[in-house]
Structure 1
Amino acid sequence: MEEHTWHGPSPDEPFSRPRPSPRPYPAISEVSTRQAAASAVTAAVAAGTPSAWTVRPFALEDVTLGRGIFADKRQLMLDHARGYDVNRLLQVFRANAGLSTGGAVAPGGWEGLDGEANGNLRGHYTGHFLTMLAQAYRGTKERVFADRIGTMVGALTEVRAALRRDPAVLSVPGKFGTGADQVRGSYQYVDLPVTVLGGASAITLSVWVRPTHDANWTRVFDFGDDTTRYMYLAARNQAGVPRFAITTSGAGGEQAINGTAPLPLDQWSHLAVTIAGGTGTLYVNGTAVARNTAMSLTPAALGTLKNNWLGRSNYSADPVFAGAYEEFNVFSRALTAAEITELQSRRAADASTSRGDLASYAFDETTGGTFADASGRGLAATLRRTWGGPSHPGFLAAYPETQFIDLESRTSSDYTKVWAPYYTAHKILRGLLDAYTATDDDRALDLASGMCDWMHSRLSRLPESTLQRMWGIFSSGEFGGIVEAICDLHTITGKAEHLALAKLFDLDRLIDACAADTDIIDGLHANQHIPIFTGYVRLYDETGEERYLTAAKNFWDMVVPHRMYGIGGTSTQEFFKARDVIAGTISATTAETCCAYNMLKLSRTLFFHEQDPTYMDYYERALYNQVLGSKQDKPDAEKPLVTYFIGLTPGHVRDYTPKQGTTCCEGTGMESATKYQDSVYFAKADGSALYVNLYSPSTLTWAEKGVTVTQTTRFPREQGSTLTFGGRRASFTLRLRVPSWATAGFRVTVNGRAVSGTPKPGSYFDVSRTWRAGDTVRIAMPFRTRVERALDDPSLQTLFHGPVNLVARDAATEYLKVGLYGDAGLSGDLSHSLTPVAGKPLHFTLDGTEWAPFFEGTEDPTHAYFRRSEPKVVFGGRDSGVANPAKADGSTLLDEVWAGAPFRNKGALVARVRSTVDAWVSAGLLSRADGDKVVSTAGAASYRP
């Protein structure tokens, strides 16, 4: 029996690395000479990597994907990236800035205003999309991706400029002339002077509106001091119909008039309210729809009010009116029904009523931020935002700064109020940096730098205790990988404020515990914490502070293997659970896809400091299984078709359109599918070695050496790979990763000749020589079939064939019972129990059930885990007639026998059976008579290799 156990680097391993001076990050492209520190930065980038890195990655453009499963999956995402309308992503940004959205409809899910938790995460997906486009452009050089980046960066530049200014009129065609549009999501309203009602004891308020959203309690107008004294007209009350109310004693004292039907959306409607002689009447489109004959209150009773607003409520929780205004008139008398009817067909200026004598706004303005009053009283109105303006001109977001402000005093999580604003800022910042790296667009760099200037201006003023409280709040305080992005920016700008900003995200309790190798992550939100450690490794690069690197390494060891499922994923319902509890945490919401994405990033970044092959073994596991399997194998123009959770319960069907789209995992899924090649090859920092980490069809252009390396393989459908060298002669060591699962051998030939040495699974095998064009390296690594056991329940297992996790396709919702020992070979390989399916590589049948690679993105019900069931002791197909005994932990006699595989011959296997039987008999777990039958059967059986 071949088992596979994961061992991370020893927690007692010393960290004896030199303290580096801050050096630039190599993932950033050549820096523009127009930057202030251009010459220094360019020289540093050319120098290679941070001094703490002993290997460096290649840029995406240096590695070209060949035909295979990665290219196929990527093609689906590239097609999506080419076709999706980026104006839909920009809609929420433009709306927030009060700019025209051009009729674009924001995506669903988390990205639109109507998304989960009031759309409080909107803008994050745009950042992901920018990163995807940047990676796609770097990997393919197709101009369409650069053009789309340019469109988005240009739009975001306009958005930031608009946010810096006071709101400006957005003119649209009106009922008679022009109207003023209040774009939903702009949080804009019209502020009228305090004397607008003029203390009138009789009044008519007349207005044309075109609502664009059906939110309840949006105000057409609201005149008041607070929530005690006010007078409003709501476009919709809780029943969805217009409502007028006036009160001097709060909501309980409202004297109201309710309409009878909802106002139609996207159509002009005329509303009018009259009050005189104790009677109030509500008119809709010239018809009196409701009347209150017991109204004792008039505007005169309210006195002079400080808040006289169109589109905004004195109740702060009420939504802002979304839609357009035209012709708002206030008269100091009650118009007659005939006069109100007349206003349906002409402007007040052209009607017998003439303009309102208290106030009259035609909304004919097409520029500026004020509206002229034609009443003769000179009461010009001003366009404003409910949240004022940004605290710093670098602010850029798809929602107001209020989420960031609220977080600073918040003590508990409430994502309907504050949902990870710095997480969203990270996605935008990362997208802009990637856009700059890919296209050298200085606007993207300016936007990114401005965002960090703004964040520093906010966070640097806060006490340390406030920062620690903020970053410790679940969800609301989540900041993702922002530290990594800020460090990357710092290497370009060289601004001390940017490095200082990165350190303001230190979560000291977590850093110190992990640096001390104290496992406190049980119960933590997994994806809130995984990416911050990648950032802390980058802070180590920039500052030389050992605790950052030590904490990150120890954290990784706390996850792998202790909280890792077979496919490489982690978390249940988004949270880490207790250490070494795997079977006990399996559910329909295991393995959040973002967690796998971020664990890959962390593994990769740690590898730059220490070339422990365990990091790349994990990378292969998670990439070839969960990450590939999270992308559905079909095209879609509207959705990237990526999983959120991958449930590992029996019969689970993957959901590739979670929460109507645009979740965090769909964002990272877009990124994953456009950077599959990022860790296939690394170079030693001094150029003396080339690491081949993954066996993937690809071509590397190593410009510094003048060498190309073309890897030809169908791996993992092929059990090996071929490397062909081109270009100049160059001397270096080729370091080939020997996967930890490659226990059936790892053989290397160069130009047809075997390379001496004994490759060890879970290591690197070195081939040193002067390489010439035409040199060919052939690697053969036969796959074995093995199981991996859940750490807390050895009977719950998952099946692997080489690096590939195999899942049973079966609609049953209980764990399948599977036996595998009956035909096990001397090597311990379990593949003899499986029957290959003709014409379908990596597909097998077992007891009538098909087993297929996890990486296939289908909607078939699958079983990633099964119950191991070996009721009888069977060797080589011979049944001993003896029940397979088990220990208290669930491990069986056969488990213990086959744990000794591989066996050099039959005699070695029989000797193992005899010693195991003797031990179990001595322990009282097996009778001597049954033990003799077991040994006899083992000796009589025939075995495959």
Structure 2
Amino acid sequence: MAPPLSRRSVLRAAALAAATPAPAQAAVGTAAAAGGASAVPAAWTAVPFGLGDVSLGAGLFADKRELMLGHARGYDIDRLLQVFRANAGLPTGDAVAPGGWEGLDGEANGNLRGHYTGHFLTMLAQALASTGERVFAERIGTAVGALTEVRAALRADPVVRSVPGRFGGAVENGRGSHQYVDLPAGVLGGASAITLAAWVKPVHDDAWARVLDFGDDITRYLYLATRTANGVPRFAVTTGGAGAEQGIDGTAALPLDRWSHLAVTVADGTGTLYVDGTAVGRNTAMTLTPAALGTLAHHWLGRSHYPADPVLAGALGGFDVWSRALDPAEVAALGAAGPADTPAGRGDLVSYAFDETGGSRIADASGRGLTATLRRTWGGPSHPGFLAAYPETQFIELESMTGSDYTRVWAPYYTAHKILRGLLDAHAATGDARALDLASGMGDWMHARLSALPSATLQRMWGIFSSGEFGGVVEAVCDLHAVTGDPRHLELARLFDLDRLIDACAADVDTLDGLHANQHIPIFTGLVRLYDATGERRYLTAARNFWGMVVPGRVYANGGTSTGEFWKAAGVIAGTIGPTTAETCCAYNMLKLSRALFLHEQNPAYMDYYERTLYNQVLGSKRDLADAEKPLVTYFIGLGPGHARDFTPKQGTTCCEGTGMESATKYQDSVYFARPDGSALYVNLYSPSTLRWAATGVTLTQTTGYPREQGSTLTFGGADAAFELRLRVPGWAGAGFRVTVNGRAVPGSPTPGSYFGVSRTWRAGDVVRVDVPFLLRVERTLDDPSLQALFHGPVHLVARGSATEYPRFGLYRFAALSGDLLPGFSPVPGRPLHLSLDGTEFAPFYEGTTDPSHAYFRRAEPVVVFGGLDSGVANPARADGTSLLDEVWSAAPFATGAALVARVRSTVTAWVSAGLLTAADGEKVVATAERATYQP
């Protein structure tokens, strides 16, 4: 472990919590880290603390974080930078691009590559702010330095990368660089007989990568490919497109990472293909010659006229063209020496030795002066601020797309957002001006592109599934504007308005059914920030209403949302459960939105949801295993019966693994909030932690084993200060929520789902004890009350087991007067929060294991039982599924056993009158309730 940075260095990151200002009376925030001025938004009625102001104590969160910090310390950051360097034509060394979405061979050919680096930068920034470890600052510096070099290279013409060739030099074009050699017109010289020869060293088995392609389009051309779909080299010439090609195929694949000599001769109706001096294919019916093609528009080495074909990845070590067909002996000699040292001599039409060690020009040694130029297939950026790990073509193509095709264009502005966000966080954490310069440049570039487009084009773009997804770019751009003050950046943020969605939500019209969940959730966090910057109420109203459309109607027991990445109709929970529920990114973004809304109105429901999702889905999405190579985070968490979590989804490096890295390094970001004037401190989460409230000089330390402990102890230190301590009373809390100060009970009747305030002048040594009684309870799915989830306090308990059907349990038989179902379960020795029922073990959802489990179970209460006594009476039910026992226990808690019996008697009377229960059976039920013994 690297030594910690000084406290002064860490304070640079005080505003890092979601890149929003930290609380203080003075101006603080990301702009402060840059030396600028940025006040707390006037609309905020609560302000957060920076990650550096809140340190985690020993416990569940610290243990989970340490697993991710090991990944942050150990992963080779040059692997992440590989795709950026390759795109810019820079050397990548021995770095191997990450798999999955970050590599060229992953899903959709890596069209999302670069996003993961942004996530990683944010993780490093948060880790630095939280721990002060120097290694994280060093890694940020490495990444920012490399990205600065990448942007500079993208701005300039591509430069020859010289490597040793088979004889002399060679030019290398790395995979992903999109570089090729552009030859001038006249290369073929109108010859009717010809020989083309090249040394080539391919590094990837791409089909249809070209050694050369001379032509006008996909109708008239000649080409030499390193391998066809069948894996062999091919030469072809045509004036009528692919169907009219006259070709020659080789017999074996060219080896990778090894030099091969290719030659083609065409004369007198016969074409011959040579590999390493040996003829491997012949066509004696070739009526077409270069002369028949006439004047061609393009002469390319390494690039195809078919846009979908890959650019040649590897090296070219010499290219020559002769205006005659060399004989077999001459061709064979070319495989043993450079052309100048063979009987054939250098090509008389063109001869490139590729001995250049820099620049973009490649000399012709034929004597004809046909100097070639190294180019990119996509030219160059439209603006000097462009920064990406792939060409700007995805952004350009999106502007004319009318439908989704992520194999062509996959959320380029989403990727831009992640990179921008990572750079902003890097700047806030370290003060590195280069990071802010890169971020500002990206903002300038996006503004230059998007501000030139008609509003109708923007609306169409942002409405396209997947391809038009832009993630949290609005939030990031608003944060950029808060630092730079550049009005173009605020204008840019508004260019992402998807009006039909904003207007519907502002009018409280639910149009979410069928929408891609994670494409839309972060939009609303951005709208909250836009409201802060503009005061336009429509934005905040839309975000608040949207939150209410998701919670609770589209939320599963663990706090997750979406099925197969999409939303269904509100209230359909049981009907959407399957193997692809609860996408991890959705949870991450719903927490960000809940937090953003809390800054404007301190509705306890936001933090009830936050606690549910943090303690269950977010913690449970991280595997409890150290791994420097992988973050080990779920993509989906299937909530169907017997699901085992997949912590290495989709080959790695997905959006969810990225947000999982971020979540695991900011667990403390919503434990405490303060009023802007310092008159109140909110304690939202009962988590072992220490707050350093700089504006007041107060420190507050929470000591707790929560959620294994049902409460927390808060100890004050530092300066004296008068303010109200506002303690969240969870919505699930049972009777008995109690607060003491220095051992004396604070009077009042705390209400679940509210805040309990304690006002006084706090002094060092004051001790507040909060007791939060947990009940073991169930939550019913909205569309099927018999399908239920089990909770102990905030913790969702899952039944371990690999069965593919929902298990069935009855729970009322030993229920306590409080309504607590715990008496019917047995604790598992040595395993906190593990319970056993009828041979089935229940475990906390937050445990990151691969054990198959059941997030839901089927409730089965076939007979009426009280206190373990069986009445012998079947448990009747109404048409809506509500049983007699459900109605009895819905009135819990009961002060005494007599109160419970009275409830039983009144319920039985009503059910008998309704014809749902016979009088005789009713008497048995009441008698059983009277005889039973109950726990409090």
Q: Same fold (TM over 0.5)?
A: yes
Structure 2 partner of 1:756: 747
Counterpart CA distance in 1 for 2:735 and 2:849 is 30
1:364 Cα deviation from its structure 2 partner: 0.7
Q: What is the letter of the counterpart of residue 466 of structure 1?
A: T
Q: Given that residues 34 and 428 in structure 2 are in contact (C-alpha distance below 8 angstroms), is that contact kept between their aligned partners in structure 1?
A: no
Q: What is the letter of the counterpart of residue 351 of structure 1?
A: T
Q: Does 1:527 align with 2:527?
A: no
Structure 2 partner of 1:16: none
1:915 Cα deviation from its structure 2 partner: 1.5
Structure 1 partner of 2:150: 159
Q: What is the letter of the counterpart of residue 382 of structure 1?
A: T
- SS for the counterpart of 1:30 is helix
1:166 Cα deviation from its structure 2 partner: 1.3
Q: Does 1:722 align with 2:713?
A: yes
Unpaired runs of at least 5, structure 2: 1-24
Q: Does 1:568 align with 2:562?
A: no
Q: Does 1:810 align with 2:801?
A: yes
Q: Does 1:124 align with 2:115?
A: yes
Q: In the TM superposition, what are the counterparts of 1:409-488 in structure 2 within 5 Å? A: 409-488=400-479
Q: What is the letter of the counterpart of residue 248 of structure 1?
A: T
Structure 1 partner of 2:7: none
| Misfit runs of 4+, over 6 Å | none
Q: Does 1:86 align with 2:77?
A: yes
Q: Given that residues 515 and 548 in structure 1 are in contact (C-alpha distance below 8 angstroms), is that contact kept between their aligned partners in structure 2?
A: yes
Q: Does 1:228 align with 2:230?
A: no
Structure 1 partner of 2:92: 101
- SS for the counterpart of 2:803 is coil
Residues 470-521 of structure 1, C-alpha deviations (whole Å, 9 max, x = no match)? 1111111111110000000001100110000000011111111111111110
Aligned residue among 283, 302, 312 for 1:311:
302
- SS for the counterpart of 2:858 is strand
Residues 542-589 of structure 1, C-alpha deviations (whole Å, 9 max, x = no match)? 000001000000000011100010100000000011110100000000
Residues 672-707 of structure 1, C-alpha deviations (whole Å, 9 max, x = no match)? 000000001111111111111101111111111111
Q: In the TM superposition, what are the counterparts of 1:480-559 in structure 2 within 5 Å? A: 480-559=471-550
Q: Does 1:289 align with 2:269?
A: no
Q: Given that residues 24 and 50 in structure 1 are in contact (C-alpha distance below 8 angstroms), is that contact kept between their aligned partners in structure 2?
A: no
1:318 Cα deviation from its structure 2 partner: 1.0
Counterpart CA distance in 2 for 1:573 and 1:165 is 43
Q: What is the letter of the counterpart of residue 608 of structure 1?
A: L
Q: Given that residues 597 and 627 in structure 1 are in contact (C-alpha distance below 8 angstroms), is that contact kept between their aligned partners in structure 2?
A: yes
Counterpart CA distance in 1 for 2:314 and 2:832 is 57
Q: Given that residues 331 and 359 in structure 1 are in contact (C-alpha distance below 8 angstroms), is that contact kept between their aligned partners in structure 2?
A: yes
Q: What is the letter of the counterpart of residue 278 of structure 1?
A: G
Q: Does 1:299 align with 2:301?
A: no
Counterpart CA distance in 1 for 2:465 and 2:928 is 59
Q: Does 1:32 align with 2:27?
A: no
Structure 1 partner of 2:641: 650
Q: Does 1:58 align with 2:23?
A: no
Counterpart CA distance in 1 for 2:896 and 2:610 is 35
Q: Given that residues 34 and 427 in structure 2 are in contact (C-alpha distance below 8 angstroms), is that contact kept between their aligned partners in structure 1?
A: no
Q: Does 1:599 align with 2:601?
A: no
Structure 2 partner of 1:3: none
Q: Given that residues 25 and 488 in structure 1 are in contact (C-alpha distance below 8 angstroms), is that contact kept between their aligned partners in structure 2?
A: no
Q: Given that residues 25 and 50 in structure 1 are in contact (C-alpha distance below 8 angstroms), is that contact kept between their aligned partners in structure 2?
A: no
- SS for the counterpart of 1:80 is helix
- Worse-matched range after superposition: 767-776 or 134-143: 767-776
Structure 2 partner of 1:831: 822
Q: In the TM superposition, what are the counterparts of 1:660-699 in structure 2 within 5 Å? A: 660-699=651-690
1:61 Cα deviation from its structure 2 partner: 0.5
1:29 Cα deviation from its structure 2 partner: 5.4
Q: Does 1:331 align with 2:322?
A: yes
Q: Given that residues 26 and 50 in structure 1 are in contact (C-alpha distance below 8 angstroms), is that contact kept between their aligned partners in structure 2?
A: no
1:177 Cα deviation from its structure 2 partner: 2.4
Counterpart CA distance in 2 for 1:891 and 1:59 is 48
Structure 2 partner of 1:265: 256
Residues 141-190 of structure 1, C-alpha deviations (whole Å, 9 max, x = no match)? 10100100001011111111111111111112221222101111111111
Unpaired runs of at least 5, structure 1: 1-22
Counterpart CA distance in 2 for 1:382 and 1:766 is 73
Aligned residue among 756, 760, 772 for 1:769:
760
Counterpart CA distance in 1 for 2:46 and 2:325 is 81
Q: Does 1:919 align with 2:921?
A: no
- Worse-matched range after superposition: 347-356 or 265-274: 347-356
Counterpart CA distance in 1 for 2:336 and 2:424 is 54
Structure 2 partner of 1:192: 183
When the two structures are superposed, what TM-score results if normalisation uses the length of structure 1?
Answer: 0.96
Residues 691-734 of structure 1, C-alpha deviations (whole Å, 9 max, x = no match)? 11101111111111111111111110111111111111111111
- SS for the counterpart of 2:159 is coil
1:24 Cα deviation from its structure 2 partner: 12
Counterpart CA distance in 2 for 1:479 and 1:280 is 52
Structure 2 partner of 1:867: 858
- Worse-matched range after superposition: 591-600 or 770-779: 770-779
Q: In the TM superposition, what are the counterparts of 1:568-647 in structure 2 within 5 Å? A: 568-647=559-638
Q: Does 1:203 align with 2:205?
A: no
When the two structures are superposed, what TM-score results if normalisation uses the length of structure 2?
Answer: 0.97
- SS for the counterpart of 2:317 is strand
Structure 1 partner of 2:737: 746
Q: Given that residues 651 and 862 in structure 1 are in contact (C-alpha distance below 8 angstroms), is that contact kept between their aligned partners in structure 2?
A: yes
Q: Given that residues 788 and 797 in structure 1 are in contact (C-alpha distance below 8 angstroms), is that contact kept between their aligned partners in structure 2?
A: yes
CA distance 1:25–1:605, shift in 2 (3 Å) = farther
Residues 194-231 of structure 1, C-alpha deviations (whole Å, 9 max, x = no match)? 10000111111110011011111111100111111111
Q: Does 1:856 align with 2:847?
A: yes
Counterpart CA distance in 2 for 1:27 and 1:801 is 38
Residues 336-383 of structure 1, C-alpha deviations (whole Å, 9 max, x = no match)? 211122112211122222111100001111110010000000000011
Q: Given that residues 745 and 781 in structure 1 are in contact (C-alpha distance below 8 angstroms), is that contact kept between their aligned partners in structure 2?
A: yes
- SS for the counterpart of 2:375 is strand
Q: Given that residues 24 and 491 in structure 1 are in contact (C-alpha distance below 8 angstroms), is that contact kept between their aligned partners in structure 2?
A: no
Structure 1 partner of 2:131: 140
- Worse-matched range after superposition: 602-611 or 248-257: 248-257
Aligned residue among 903, 927, 931 for 2:922:
931
1:890 Cα deviation from its structure 2 partner: 1.6
